[in-house]
């Protein structure tokens, strides 16, 4: 141990225990030092190396941020280009402090991994002590943890600047971090980096907001004349009736003291201006003075306004991206997810009748067939549309985390938990919709607790003495045949009947008669997202229509997105389409067969791949978390290696 580390340990301990006065300039850091000793039981005299999670656990954390990661990655790449030459790297963690993405100089790979600036590193304050990520998770504000401000002496060479990322619903979702292995000793050297991280954090949040509410009207308000169309500081999403369905971080701050409720309230009442005047903002967007409209907010600030119309389906004969110009052009959420396919129209008619009836819905369908899309559309057409839609992939969360993730926990419930406890996903869906994807993979013990939630309308967090009331609409989904799991004793019969108040069976894409409609809609959406004016050639359309789509809608969207990226001209041609054939199957395996109806299939796959779980899971079309869970259930244990 160096003399610098020894002096650092003495300083941390003296301030954390109150024997020395804390510096007001670094109060967040010194508050964290005290938490580390008092609440987390960490000892500054016992430095610990970086904690890196196994790959399968990292993948489970990444899957929870699947939709958010796309916008975050774009922001990370842009900020990295600006700071890479100065010796910085960029990482992103989830709300647990687990690194789910990072960008750094490959030449420094070994040093970055040793320092914990690497994929899978755990920067939760309860494990790593005071650090940029862990302390930002607690304080929920941009901050810098510079060199000796770190709690652990092994980290005192690092400088880390972070900002919290909130999703479109205001939920803390991730942490953006810019770090360096070496930097000037002066803390002031990181001021510009902190400003840059804060700007990019807002940009990522707003990109996620625009993606999530692209089917709604979005009012953008900005203080800079002429820039509001690309840099709106305050954004409100509302439907055709003028009801606010979403607000970005700037709007939540701007209207924090408003008398009118933000979500669910009328945008006209919120802004104290008639709805006709708001529609005129959109009408003026193509005039010679597109930003002449101004809006006064409750706090007295004056903002320039721009109105972004919803993105809707374009005509098959039009090559340019379409936007609606008046509210009547928009379709209800359920009507937008299918064309004239008779089976889908019958299913959507059933879904409309089920909305707001208090009936739990079970959606069955192959992987990628659009189960979550249907659930979101039902939520969007319900009276709960302005409240949270919380999606839970029961197959992606490890057994060790699924109970705390679903039900939450109180402070001090277990070692390593957050000091303030955590609100579970079920409670987060209160007054909204809870979507339980791959419900057939939920562990049996958790099925019993979920049954109580559905039957009693209350949830009991880990460590709590009394339950909390919850009001949720539940949509469950599975690609498996639950009655067979019930017969095999792997799914509770009473939970099955509680979930399937109504069953909606989604057909696979290969059986749908509205494939042309779906191709056009998805192509237009992806083209608009890429700001591309390319059109789809007739030959490419015919090839897409002829494909059997083993990956269903998910595969279709990926193919279209890649084709637009590969297209070098104004037309997407057949050579731009990267279509994959259906994976070969053994003669005794049916297309729709549950891959775990016979435990021998998993065991055979593991043996073929020499017990490499990831490769066996890929062959069977499973996530690694599901494969590990099934190995545990079936008692499959890898042989010990000499």
Model pLDDT, residue 1:
62
Model pLDDT, residue 286:
37
CA–CA separation, 36 and 130 (whole Å): 7
Pair (470, 598) in one structural domain: no
CATH code: domain of residue 539? 1.10.8.60
Residue 207 domain-assigned (yes or no): no
CATH code: domain of residue 469? 3.40.50.300
Of 544, 576, 608, the position where a domain reaches its end is: 576
| Parallel, antiparallel or unpaired: strands 422-423 and 408-409 | antiparallel
Q: What is the DSSP code (8-state) at residue 331? A: -
Q: Which segment of 285-299, 450-464, 467-481 scores lowest on mean pLDDT?
A: 285-299
Give residues with Cβ within 8 angstroms of 449, minimum separation 6. Answer: 403, 406, 407, 460
Binning pLDDT at 50, 70 and 90, where does residue 20 land? Answer: low
Residue 59 domain-assigned (yes or no): yes
Model pLDDT, residue 591:
36
Give residues with Cβ within 8 angstroms of 324, minimum separation 6. Answer: 309, 310, 311, 312, 330
Pair (448, 532) in one structural domain: no
Pair (232, 380) in one structural domain: no
User: From residue 146, how far is each of 11, 24, 57, 151 by CA, in Å?
Assistant: 15, 15, 29, 11
CA–CA separation, 394 and 397 (whole Å): 6
CATH code: domain of residue 152? 3.30.450.40
515-529 helix and 538-546 helix, angle to the nearest 10 degrees: 120
Sign, CA dihedral 560-562-564-566, equals negative
Which of these, 565, 605, 613, lies nearest to 583 by C-alpha position? 605
Strongest mean pLDDT among 60-64, 195-199, 445-449: 195-199
Residue 318 domain-assigned (yes or no): no
Pair (96, 12) in one structural domain: yes
Residue 321 domain-assigned (yes or no): no
Average pLDDT, the chain: 82
Pair (81, 55) in one structural domain: yes
**In the chain, how many domains are there?**
5
Site of tokens 């749908």: 512
pLDDT, tens digit (0-9, with 9 covering 90-100), for 385-395: 888 899 888 87
pLDDT, tens digit (0-9, with 9 covering 90-100), for 98-121: 999 999 888 888 888 888 898 999
Give residues with Cβ within 8 angstroms of 203, minimum separation 6. Answer: 75
DSSP 3-state of 619: helix
Domain of 8, in residue numbers: 3-198
pLDDT at 641 > cutoff 50: no
Q: Percentage of residues in the chain with pLDDT exceeding 90?
A: 29
Pair (52, 144) in one structural domain: yes
Which of these, 447, 376, 458, 396, lies nearest to 424 by C-alpha position? 458
Pair (36, 77) in one structural domain: yes
Pair (290, 186) in one structural domain: no
pLDDT at 598 > cutoff 90: no
Pair (489, 522) in one structural domain: no
Phi then psi for residue 542, to 5 deg, are: -65, -35
CA–CA separation, 388 and 628 (whole Å): 31
Binning pLDDT at 50, 70 and 90, where does residue 399 land? Answer: low
Report the alpha-carbon angle 133-251-335, nearest 5.
100
Residue 332 domain-assigned (yes or no): no
Of 467, 485, 504, the position where a domain reaches its end is: 504
Enumerate the β-bridge partners of residue 219: 236, 307
CB 627 within 8 A of CB 514: no
CA 345 centroid distance within chain: 30
CA 411 centroid distance within chain: 25
CA–CA separation, 84 and 301 (whole Å): 38
Secondary structure of 81-136 in HEC code, one letter for each residue:
HHHHHHCEEEEEEECCCEEEEEECCHHHHHHHHHHCCCCCEECCHHHHCCCHHHHH
CATH code: domain of residue 589? 1.10.10
Model pLDDT, residue 201:
93
Other C-beta atoms closer than 10 Å to the C-beta of 521 total: 19
Model pLDDT, residue 159:
93
Of 293, 308, 323, the position where a domain reaches its end is: 308
pLDDT, tens digit (0-9, with 9 covering 90-100), for 142-171: 999 999 899 888 888 899 999 999 988 788
Binning pLDDT at 50, 70 and 90, where does residue 323 land? Answer: very low
Model pLDDT, residue 299:
62
Residue 330 domain-assigned (yes or no): no
Residue 349 domain-assigned (yes or no): yes
Binning pLDDT at 50, 70 and 90, where does residue 229 land? Answer: low
The two three-digit tokens of residue 206, written as one number: 């707003």
Residue 90 domain-assigned (yes or no): yes
Pair (230, 142) in one structural domain: no
Ramachandran bin of 356, using left for φ above 0, alpha for ψ from -120 to 50, beta for the remaining angles = left
Pair (147, 222) in one structural domain: no
Model pLDDT, residue 89:
94
Pair (181, 232) in one structural domain: no
Average pLDDT over residues 416-427: 79
pTM over 0.75: no
């Amino acid at each position: 141990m160096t003399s610098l580390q020894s002096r650092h340990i003495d300083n941390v301990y003296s301030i954390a225990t109150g024997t020395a006065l804390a510096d007001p300039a670094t109060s967040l850091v010194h508050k964290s030092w005290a938490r580390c000793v008092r609440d987390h039981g960490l000892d500054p005299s016992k430095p610990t190396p970086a904690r890196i999670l196994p790959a399968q656990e990292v993948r489970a954390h990444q899957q929870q941020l699947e939709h958010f990661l796309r916008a975050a990655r774009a922001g990370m790449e842009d900020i990295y280009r600006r700071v890479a030459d100065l010796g910085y790297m960029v990482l992103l963690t989830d709300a647990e402090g687990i690194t789910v993405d990072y960008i750094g100089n490959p030449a420094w790979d070994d040093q970055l991994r040793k320092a914990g600036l690497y994929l899978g590193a755990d920067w939760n304050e309860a494990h790593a002590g005071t650090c940029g990520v862990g302390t930002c998770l607690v304080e929920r504000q941009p901050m810098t943890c510079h060199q000796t401000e770190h709690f652990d002496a092994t980290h005192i060479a690092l400088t880390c600047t972070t900002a919290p990322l909130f999703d479109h619903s205001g939920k803390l979702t991730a942490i953006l971090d810019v770090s360096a292995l070496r930097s000037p000793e002066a803390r002031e050297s990181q001021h510009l980096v902190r400003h840059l991280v804060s700007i990019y954090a807002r940009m990522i949040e707003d990109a996620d907001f625009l993606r999530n509410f692209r089917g709604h009207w979005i009012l953008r308000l900005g203080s800079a004349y002429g820039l509001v169309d690309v840099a709106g500081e305050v954004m409100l999403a509302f439907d055709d009736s003028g009801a606010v369905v979403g607000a970005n971080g700037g709007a939540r701050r701007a209207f924090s003291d408003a008398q009118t409720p933000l979500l669910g309230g009328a945008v006209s009442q919120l802004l104290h201006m008639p709805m006709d005047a708001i529609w005129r903002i959109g009408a003026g967007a193509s005039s010679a003075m597109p930003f002449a409209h101004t809006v006064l907010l409750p706090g007295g600030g004056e903002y320039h306004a721009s109105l972004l119309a919803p993105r809707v389906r374009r005509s098959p004969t039009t090559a340019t991206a379409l936007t609606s110009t008046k509210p009547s052009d928009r379709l209800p959420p359920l009507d937008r997810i299918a064309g004239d396919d008779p089976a889908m129209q019958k299913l959507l008619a059933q879904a409309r009748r089920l909305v707001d009836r208090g009936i739990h819905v079970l959606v069955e369908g192959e992987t990628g067939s659009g189960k979550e899309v249907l659930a979101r559309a039902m939520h969007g057409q319900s009276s709960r549309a302005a409240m949270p839609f919380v999606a839970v992939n029961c197959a992606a969360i490890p057994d060790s985390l699924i109970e705390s993730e679903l039900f939450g926990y109180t402070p001090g419930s277990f070692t390593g938990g957050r000091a303030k406890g955590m609100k579970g996903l079920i409670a987060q869906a209160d007054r909204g919709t809870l979507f339980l994807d791959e419900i057939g993979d939920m562990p049996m013990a958790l099925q019993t607790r979920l049954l109580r939630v559905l039957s009693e309308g209350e949830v009991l967090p880990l460590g709590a003495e009394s339950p909390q009331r919850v009001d949720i609409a539940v949509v469950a989904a599975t690609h498996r045949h639950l009655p067979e799991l019930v017969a095999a004793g792997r799914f509770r019969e009473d939970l099955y009947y509680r979930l399937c108040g109504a069953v909606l069976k989604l057909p696979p894409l290969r059986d749908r008669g509205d494939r042309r409609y779906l191709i056009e809609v998805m192509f237009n959406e992806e083209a608009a997202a890429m700001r591309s004016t390319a059109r789809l050639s007739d030959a490419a359309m015919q090839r897409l229509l002829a494909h059997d789509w083993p990956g269903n809608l998910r595969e279709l969207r990926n193919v279209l997105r890649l084709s637009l990226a590969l297209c070098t001209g104004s037309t997407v041609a057949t050579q731009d389409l990267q279509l994959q054939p259906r994976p070969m199957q053994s003669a005794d395996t049916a297309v729709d067969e549950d891959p775990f109806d016979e435990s021998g299939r998993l065991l055979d796959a593991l043996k073929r791949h020499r017990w490499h779980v990831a490769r066996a899971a890929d062959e069977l079309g499973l996530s690694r978390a599901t494969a590990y869970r099934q190995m545990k259930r079936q008692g499959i244990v890898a042989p010990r290696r000499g």
